[in-house]
Amino acid sequence: MSTFTDSLNADLAVMEKAGTLKKFRHIQTPMDTQVTMEETGKALVLSSNNYLGLANHPEVIEAGVAALKKYGAGTASVRFICGTFTIHEQIEAALAKLHHTEAALTYVSCWTANTGLIPTIATEHDALISDALNHASLIDGCRMAKAKRYVYKHSDMNDLESKLKETAAARRRFIVTDGVFSMEGDIVNLPGVVTLARQYNATIILDDSHGVGVMGKHGRGCAEHYNLEHEVDITTGTLGKALGGAAGGYVAGPQPLIDYLQQTSRPQLFSNALPATIAGSAMKAIEILEREPQRIARLHHLTKMTREGLKARGFKPLDGESAIVPLIVGETAFAIKMSQEMMQEGIFITGFGYPVVPEGHARLRIQISATLTDEQVQFALEKFEMVGKKLGVI
Ligand SMILES: Cc1ncc(COP(=O)(O)O)c(C=O)c1O
């Protein structure tokens, strides 16, 4: 055992020396625009997926507590044994309605949904054609599948078409893509993907984890943004970002797909059901999303203000339409250093580097929440300017 732990410690020491070791920060209050950190006290959060500010919304909390009281702490079983509760049916109906699909199925996370979906429907006679910048859970889902795997250059429709031509003999073909690309903040070219999918008879799998609650006038995601809601065959998503932020994921699509996943998707067969309290909170979050579309308009306003404010101060944030505003700063160690400097100024923002993004493209990923005030955004911009000048970024 000691040689094993010694070798792990040696690996960790290499990361420490390179300045790439990630350190957890400890939050002592609920997730919100403002939190208290164990290490540095009060901080403004620009690093969470709490896009609509619902993680600490009183109604969302109350709904979670009500479900906890009604259904108890746990399901204590997988779905098909004795773990399906009425609230599962209700949240799945709400998710199907949100995505205009026939049905939906919940998982304990979107990671589990992606890795429970893709290997189940893409087997040895099939082909998976996946965007190069897809989220790790889609990549792992594809790796777990017995289907042949192809990767097309990020958002490159010519390359996607050539892969579709190459796979003409496959029984089923799937185009696998994020809606909002989580490290770049750009969005899928859905009109291009839909045109090619229909032309080559392929099925679209769209993971809209960062798009739901953000994209489209009603927050129904990238498909709504493009007015292509009935053209996406399969949508996966998370309940752990805009929709309450606790955990939980889902697949939404045609009824036969959901029926098939219930029978064969391994996490459905061998892993516990979504806790009722999360289903309760997420249902309330969906209700608020439908009731208060002004949250989405506010999110877009603040994102635009942030992007323009950064540009006016000499930064070059990546362009995009989502609520993710990446600032590329170079090496991993530098991104971590800049995030530490920002932390000292009361702004909680994480630096992302290798292996999440390629070395040399490390970044600070700003994520906006609809419940930030204009003053808070201005305060953050001033701190960016101060730290950016100090470190020679601007
Ligand atoms: C595109 C995408 N898919 C899936 C996930 C995983 O979601 P969950 O936290 O529900 O497993 C994430 C989370 O970062 C994501 O960005």
Cα radius of gyration (the chain): 21
Beta strands in 108-156 (DSSP E): 127-131, 148-152
Q: Which domains does the chain have, with CATH numbers?
A: 19-48+293-390 (3.90.1150.10), 58-291 (3.40.640.10)
Read off the pTM.
0.97
Rounded to whole angstroms, how far apart are CA atoms 361 and 363? Answer: 6
Beta strands in 239-380 (DSSP E): 249-253, 324-330, 347-348, 351-352, 362-367
Which atom of ligand 1 sits closest to the CA of residue 114? 4
* Alpha carbon distance, N-terminus to C-terminus of the chain: 49
Q: Is the CB of 135 under 6 A from ligand 1?
A: yes
Q: Is the CB of 111 under 6 A from ligand 1?
A: yes
Which residue's CA lies nearest to atom 13 of ligand 1? 209
Tell me, what's the pLDDT at 33?
A: 97
Q: Strand, helix or coil at 56?
A: coil
Q: Is the CB of 137 under 6 A from ligand 1?
A: yes
Backbone angles phi, psi at 128, to 5 degrees: -110, 125
H-run or E-run covering 238: strand 234-238
Q: Which of 49, 95, 106, 110 to mutate to test the pocket of ligand 1 (most atoms within 8 A of CB)?
A: 110
Residues 95/117, Cβ–Cβ less than 8 Å: no
* Per-position pLDDT tens, the chain of length 394: 689 999 999 999 999 998 888 889 899 999 999 999 998 899 999 999 999 999 999 999 999 999 999 999 999 999 999 999 999 999 999 999 999 999 999 999 999 999 999 999 999 999 999 999 999 999 999 999 999 999 999 999 999 999 999 999 999 999 999 999 999 999 999 999 999 999 999 999 999 999 999 999 999 999 999 999 999 999 999 999 999 989 999 999 999 999 999 999 999 999 999 999 999 999 999 999 999 999 999 999 999 999 999 999 999 999 999 999 999 999 988 999 999 999 999 999 999 988 888 889 999 999 999 999 999 999 999 999 999 999 999 9
Distance 185 CA to ligand 1 centre (A): 14
Q: Is the CB of 249 under 6 A from ligand 1?
A: yes
Rounded to whole angstroms, how far apart are CA atoms 99 and 81? Answer: 28
Output the CA–CA distances (angstroms, integers) from residue 204 to 167, 256, 389, in the order listed: 15, 16, 45
Tell me, what's the pLDDT at 245?
A: 86
List of residues 6+ apart from 215 with CB closer than 8 A: 179, 180, 187, 208, 221, 222, 224, 225, 321, 322
Backbone angles phi, psi at 238, to 5 degrees: -120, 150
Which atom of ligand 1 sits closest to the CA of residue 182? 16
The torsion region of residue 151 among left (phi > 0), alpha (psi -120 to 50) and beta comes to: beta
Tell me, what's the pLDDT at 1?
A: 67
Residues 326/364, Cβ–Cβ less than 8 Å: yes
58 preceded by a cis bond (ω within 30 of 0): no
Which residue's CA lies nearest to atom 7 of ligand 1? 110
